[in-house]
Chain A
Amino acid sequence: MAAVTADQKSQKTFGTAGTTDADRVAAFDATVAADERIEPRDWMPDAYRATLIRQMAQHAHSEIIGMQPEANWITRAPSLRRKAILMAKVQDEAGHGMYLYSAAETLGASRDELLDKLHAGRQRYSSIFNYPTLTWADVGAIGWLVDGAAITNQVPLCRCSYGPYARAMVRICKEESFHQRQGYELLLALSRGTEAQHAMAQDAVNRWWWPSLMMFGPPDDASSHSEQSMAWKIKRHSNDELRRRFVDICVPQAEALGLELPDPDIRWNEELGRHDFGAIDWSEFQEVLKGNGPCNEQRIAQRRTAHEEGAWVREAAAVYAAKHAPKPSPSSSTTATATASASASASASASAAASDQPAARTGASAPHEEETA
C-alpha cells in the first residue's frame, strides 16, 4: 500500500473550507493514478462505490454458495486426511465470505442487506457453482481448475484501488493457492491410482474445464463493466487476457497430471507465444446466468433454507445480547452480529491449533477492521 501521510490523508478525507466537488474528483483521480489506495472515508464517485459493492457482494456470495458443491462430499470423503482437508477448505470459504462482507460494509452496505439480495436473486454469485459435484474427483477438479481460475482472477485484485478489498484479497489469495495445490494433489493421487480412479479424475476434468474458462466472464467485446473498472484500477487485466493466462498455466499442469483437457483445438501458437484453444459455448454460460444451470435452484434454495431455519437462532442471540449488555461500556456488543463474531474469533484462535493446516486459515476478523471500528 502506498504511504499516505496523516496530513495528506486528512486533507484528502475532509477537505478544507474551500473544497469543491472538482477538488474531490481531482483528489480521487490523482490517488488512483498514483496507484495509491482509496480508503473508506475518502470521497469517491457514487458509481465507483456502487460497482465495488456489486463486485464485492458477488464475490462474497460466491464464497458462500461455493461451500455447497464441496460440502456435498464432506460426509463421503474417502480418507480421514482428505476429509480434514475438505472441512478446512469449506471453513475457509465461510471465512472468506466474512472478510468480503466486512470489506463491502466499509462502503456502507450491510451483510444482512447483501444476503437478502442474494436470497432474492437480485445479486449474483459465480456461475461455476451451479454445476453439480458428481464424484469425489470433482472436489479435486474444483481445487485445481476452479480455484486456479479464481486465483488468476484475484491476484490482480490484491492491487485493486480500493484498500479494504485489496487487503482482503491478499489474505484470501494465500489461502486459495493452498487449496489449489491440495486440489491438484488430490487429482494427482487419483490419476496415478487405479484405473477406476484415473477415469474418475478424467471425467471430472472433462466436466469442469469449460465452466472454469467461463469464470473469466464474457469475451472482452461483450463485457459491459470492464472498461470503467480498468480505468478505476479495480480491474487490471481484461477477461480474455486472464483466460489466456489461465490456459497457458493449465496445459503443462494437465500434462504433469497425466490428464487430458477436453479441447482438441488446444495447441501452442509459436507466433503469439501462447496457446490457442477452442471456442467457448457462450449460450450455456448465458443459460446458467439466467438461472437455468443444473443447480441454480438447488443452491439458492439451500441458502434460503439455512437462513430461514437459522432465524430463531439469530433472534435468540440478539435478544440475549440485549438482555445482558453491560451498560457502562459504550464499546460492548449489543447486537447479534457482535455476539456471533465474538464466538467466531474464538474459533479462529482454535483453528490455529488444528493440525495439518496453515495457522492463518480462518481469521474471522477482516484485515481492515481498524477502518470499521
Chain B
Amino acid sequence: MVLSHRLGEWAGHAPVLEEEVALANIALDLLGQARVLLSLVGDEDELAYLREERAFRNLQLVEQPNGDFAHTIARQLYFSVYQHLLYERLAAGDGEFAPLAAKAVKEVAYHRDHAEQWVLRLGDGTEESHRRMQAGLDALWRFTGEMFQPVDGLDGPPSGVDREELRNRWLAAVTDVVERATLALPTGPQSGGWAAGAGRQGLHTEPFGRMIAEMQHLHRSHPGASW
C-alpha cells in the first residue's frame, strides 16, 4: 500500500507517457494486493487511514521518497525482485497465502521485468543516466537488509520460505542485472543503523509520517463518513 502510494505520486510527472501508464499500472496492482491482504486482517480503510505511523509495519524501503526516475527504479528493482522471489515460494507452498501469492506473482513478474529493463537502459544508456542509476542503487542499498531479517513477534518464516535462501537468490538476481547494466553492486551495509526489522516494528524514516499525513487527512477529517 505504501509503495503504491509513492508510485501514485508520479501521476502527471513521468518522463514519457508510456511510463505514466506503466507506473500507474504497477501502483494499481500493488494497491489491489494490499487491499486483499488488509481485508484478511480487518477493515481495509480503518487499517490504512486510522493507524498512526508507529502502527505501520511496512518495510522502510517502500516508504522512501521517489527522488528522480532512477531512484524510483532502484527502489522498484530491489523490491520487485524480492517480492517476485517471495511470492513464487509462497505460491508453491501450502500456506494460507499460497492462493493469493499465486494470483499476485503474475503481476509482480511484470513489475520485476519493468524494473530490470529500466535498470539496463539507464545503467547502459548515457553517462548521466549511468551516474543517476548508480546513485539510486547506492542510496537505497541500506534499506535492503530488512527484507531478509526475522520479524519480531512472528514464529519463523512463512511456509515454504527459507530466508537465507531468499537472500541468496535475491542477491544473485540483483547482481546479475546490475552487472549487465554496467553498474556496480553497492558495497555498504544493508542495514543503516537500525536494529533488525525496524519497519516491521513500526520504526520508520522521517518522510513516512508526512506521507501518511497527506494520505489520511481527508478520511480523518470526516470521522465515520463513508465514501
Number of interface residues of A (CB under 8 A): 69
In the assembled complex, B122 has its CB within 8 A of some CB on chain A: yes
Q: Choose among A196, A314, A347 the residue with the greatest number of B CB atoms under 10 Å from its CB.
A: A347
List, in ascending order, chain A residues with CB within 8 A of B16's CB: 310, 313-314, 317, 336, 340
The reply on A46 being an interface residue by CB < 8 A is no
Chain A CB within 8 A of B28 CB: yes
CB-based contact A194/B11 at 8 Å: no
Interface bits B196-227 vs A (CB < 8 Å: 1, else 0): 00000000000000000011011100101111
Contact partners of A84 in chain B: CB under 8 A: 28, 31-32, 35
Q: Complex formed: what's the CA distance from A153 to B132 in Å?
A: 45
User: Total interface residues on B, using CB and 8 Å?
Assistant: 60
Q: Check: A341 CB closer than 8 A to any chain B CB.
A: yes
Q: B217, A194: Cβ atoms under 8 Å?
A: no
Residues of A within 8 A of B38 (CB): 80
Please give me the residue from chain B that is nearest to A308 by CB atom: B15
B65, CB-defined interface residue at 8 Å: no
Inter-chain contacts of A307 with B (CB < 8 A): 15
Interface hits, B120-156 → A, CB 8 Å = 120-122, 124-126, 128-129, 132
A164 contacts chain B at the CB level, 8 A cutoff: no
Bound CA span A83–B31, Å: 9
B166 CB-CB contact with A under 8 Å: no
Cβ-based interface call for B161 (8 A): no
Chain A residues within an 8 Å CB radius of B126: 312, 315-316, 319
CB distance from A173 to the nearest CB of B (A): 19
B106 interfacial by beta-carbon distance below 8 Å: yes
> Residue on B with the closest CB to A346?
B110
Q: Judging by beta carbons under 8 Å apart, are B34 and A87 in contact?
A: no
Query: Which residues of A have CB within 8 Å of B44?
Result: 80
With both chains docked as a complex, state the minimum distance between the C-beta of B17 and any C-beta of chain A, in angstroms: 5
Convert B176-211 into 0s and 1s, putting 1 for each residue whose CB lies closer than 8 angstroms to a CB of A: 000000000000000000000000000000000000
Q: Which of A71, A194, A197, A346 contacts B12 (CB 8 A)?
A: A71
Asked if B5 is an interface residue, CB under 8 A from chain A, the answer is yes
Check: A362 CB closer than 8 A to any chain B CB. yes
Chain B, interface SS category: helix
Q: How far, in Å, is B204 (CB) from chain A's closest CB?
A: 17
Residues of A within 8 A of B12 (CB): 67-68, 71, 90, 302, 306
* Residues of chain B with a CB closer than 8 A to A81's CB: 35, 227
Query: Per-position contact with A for B1-39: 1 when CB-CB < 8 Å, else 0?
Result: 100010011011111111111101111110110110010
> Is the Cβ of B32 less than 8 Å from the Cβ of A356?
yes
B35 touches A347 (CB 8 A): no
Of the residues A97, A186, A320, A351, contact of B121 by C-beta under 8 Å:
A320
**Nearest B residue to A115 by beta-carbon distance?**
B17
Could you tell me if B21 and A98 are in contact, using CB atoms closer than 8 angstroms?
yes
Q: Which residues of A contact B45 (CB under 8 A)?
A: 79-80
- A341-B18, A364-B21 are contacts. A351–B13 as well, Cβ < 8 Å? no
The smallest beta-carbon distance between A328 and chain B, in angstroms, is: 21
Question: Measured between C-beta atoms, what is the minimum distance from B62 to chain A in Å?
Answer: 15
Cα(A343)–Cα(B1), bound, Å? 23
A75, A309, A356 — which one has the most chain B CB atoms within 10 A of its CB? A75
Known: A78-B225, A309-B13, A309-B68. 8 other contacts (CB 8 A): A74-B9, A78-B227, A90-B12, A306-B14, A315-B128, A315-B129, A353-B29, A353-B107
Interface residues of chain B, those whose CB is within 8 Å of chain A, are 1, 5, 8-9, 11-22, 24-29, 31-32, 34-35, 38, 44-45, 48-49, 68-69, 106-107, 110-111, 113-114, 117-118, 120-122, 124-126, 128-129, 132, 214-215, 217-219, 222, 224-227
Binding site for B on A (CB under 8 A): 64, 67-68, 71, 74-84, 87-88, 90-91, 94-95, 97-98, 101, 136, 186, 189-190, 193-194, 196-197, 302, 305-307, 309-317, 319-321, 323-324, 336, 339-341, 343-344, 346-351, 353-357, 362, 364
The 6 nearest A-B residue pairs measured at CB? A310-B15, A316-B125, A316-B129, A91-B24, A344-B18, A94-B20
